[in-house]
A and B are shown apart, each in its own frame.
Chain A
Amino acid sequence: MNKDKIDFVLSLADSSLILAQRNGEWCGHGPVLEQDIAITNITLDLIGQARCLYQYAADHINQSADQPVNPATEDSLAFLRTEREFKNCLLAEQSNGDWGQTILRQFFFSTYQYFLYQQLKDKGTDTTLSAIAEKSLKEITYHVRWSSEWVIRLGDGTEESKRRMEAGIENLWPYTGELFAPADYEEEMAIDFKTIKTKWAEKINSVLTEATLTHPDGGIFMHTGGKTGTHTEQLGYILAEMQYMQRAFPGCEW
């Protein structure tokens, strides 16, 4: 596996892990018990996907020409890389805001992940990645449906819930463009980002329409950089909390 491929797998893993870490902040704080359980179930799925991907990346990092002194593991990749080394999309690291914004972030991300993983599954040139994508898709399907239903429920809900959803879209929309702008290492992966973007837009539009919501038109500025390690200020705080234990007590286990 070449460096581009490793970077690509790491970026998939990082997006899942960072979104999981964000969603995990809801644990014990969900609006109702069942939805608290739902968002943490989704979190667990995302961590599971990240683990599969990190294990796969670690195997290949350890076999590569510039293999590290200490072999990479799923844990070292999650807990011992710095902000600049993380390749997650900016959307994943955005703050939870209110429940509406969390739902929107999940909806935008899961829908993107759904169409991206479809391609990874069908490509078949990399059997491990196809297998991870196939297994993850079963879970992502739940995430898309669950988040779509919530977008509709809140958008087409009360005046207050609609206002919050509109604010959430305004906050998050500028981070959706990056999803379809391939990073250098993605150029080689033979992924058709154009098709993903078209399908993503169709799904987003149909759900937002049903939710009586709209999104900004094409002219809006889109942030990029997450996939190549230039993050918003949010990521540093996430890593500080997530990595604290391993930084303060290297190798600690419990």
Chain B
Amino acid sequence: MDKKNEISDTTLIWSVLESIPDPEIPVLTIVDLGIVRNVAISVSGIPEITITATYTGCPAMDYIAASVRMELAASGFTGVKIINSISPAWTTDWMSEEGKKKLKEYGIAPPNTKQQVCDQSLFAEGEAVQCPQCSSYNTYRISEFGSTACKALYQCNDCKEPFDYFKCH
């Protein structure tokens, strides 16, 4: 495969990956979430996709790997190699701005940027998380753990709506 094709193949693969939704938060793609870390074409012409789990116990990883294979096969890429990477550890800093916007529209408060948060002291004030419904910052944390490993439960004191917060990690 010549250099030019290789580059356009990589671009094509990225665009396919950008269309694959995350199984747990389907409003985001696996690229938005920062799960896809790298796309490369090996010397022998095999596409190599590096993915990383958000949390070690993320039950969706096998499903995501299968989706990547299927979608790429549909676009003519077969024999794809999937590399599971654990280092560097996934962080919400890798979430795209587009992803954060989509999350909010979906009703999940997007993660704050790292610098503001991660106060490890006990009974620390919950982060100032903006309500995705009414945009108020007058919210409180119900629980640090939510419906999936990556979310916490919050409620808005103004509009009273409970909501998920995609926690800073």
Chain A interface residues (CB < 8 Å from chain B)? 34-35, 37-38, 41-42, 44-49, 51-52, 127-128, 130-132, 134-136, 138-139, 141-142, 145-146, 148-149, 152, 207, 210
Report the bound CA distance from A127 to B56 in whole Å: 17
Report the bound CA distance from A51 to B59 in whole Å: 11
The distance from the CB of A107 to the nearest CB of chain B, in whole angstroms, is 12
With a CB–CB cut-off of 8 A, which chain B residues contact A42? 145
25 A–B pairs (Cβ distance < 8 Å), ordered by A: A37-B143, A37-B146, A37-B153, A38-B143, A38-B144, A38-B145, A41-B146, A42-B145, A44-B57, A44-B59, A45-B55, A45-B56, A47-B57, A48-B55, A51-B57, A130-B87, A134-B88, A134-B89, A135-B87, A135-B89, A139-B55, A145-B122, A146-B144, A146-B145, A148-B122
Q: A131-B87, A141-B120, A146-B144 are in contact. Are A34 and B153 (CB under 8 A)?
A: yes
Which residues 42-97 of B have a CB within 8 angstroms of A? 53, 55-59, 86-90
The distance from the CB of B53 to the nearest CB of chain A, in whole angstroms, is 7
B142-A44 in contact (CB<8A):
no
- For the complex with contacts A51-B56, A132-B56, 6 further pairs of A-B residues with Cβ separation under 8 Å are A34-B153, A42-B145, A45-B57, A135-B86, A152-B123, A207-B122
Chain B interface residues (CB < 8 Å from chain A)? 53, 55-59, 86-90, 120, 122-123, 142-147, 149, 153, 169
Give 6 closest A-B pairs by Cβ, nearest first.
A48-B57, A48-B56, A131-B87, A34-B143, A44-B57, A38-B145
The distance from the CB of B74 to the nearest CB of chain A, in whole angstroms, is 26
Report the bound CA distance from A130 to B144 in whole Å: 26
With a CB–CB cut-off of 8 A, which chain B residues contact A44? 55, 57, 59, 149
Q: Is the interface of A mostly helix, strand, loop or mixed?
A: helix
The distance from the CB of B153 to the nearest CB of chain A, in whole angstroms, is 6
The distance from the CB of B20 to the nearest CB of chain A, in whole angstroms, is 22
B86-A132 in contact (CB<8A):
yes
B56-A49 in contact (CB<8A):
yes
B58-A48 in contact (CB<8A):
yes
Interface core residue of A41, A128, A142, A210 (most chain B CB under 10 Å): A41
The distance from the CB of A89 to the nearest CB of chain B, in whole angstroms, is 19
Report the bound CA distance from A51 to B88 in whole Å: 18
The distance from the CB of B123 to the nearest CB of chain A, in whole angstroms, is 6
B123-A149 in contact (CB<8A):
yes
With a CB–CB cut-off of 8 A, which chain A residues contact B147? 37
The distance from the CB of B133 to the nearest CB of chain A, in whole angstroms, is 20
Report the bound CA distance from A51 to B84 in whole Å: 13
With a CB–CB cut-off of 8 A, which chain B residues contact A134? 87-89
The distance from the CB of B95 to the nearest CB of chain A, in whole angstroms, is 15
B55-A127 in contact (CB<8A):
no
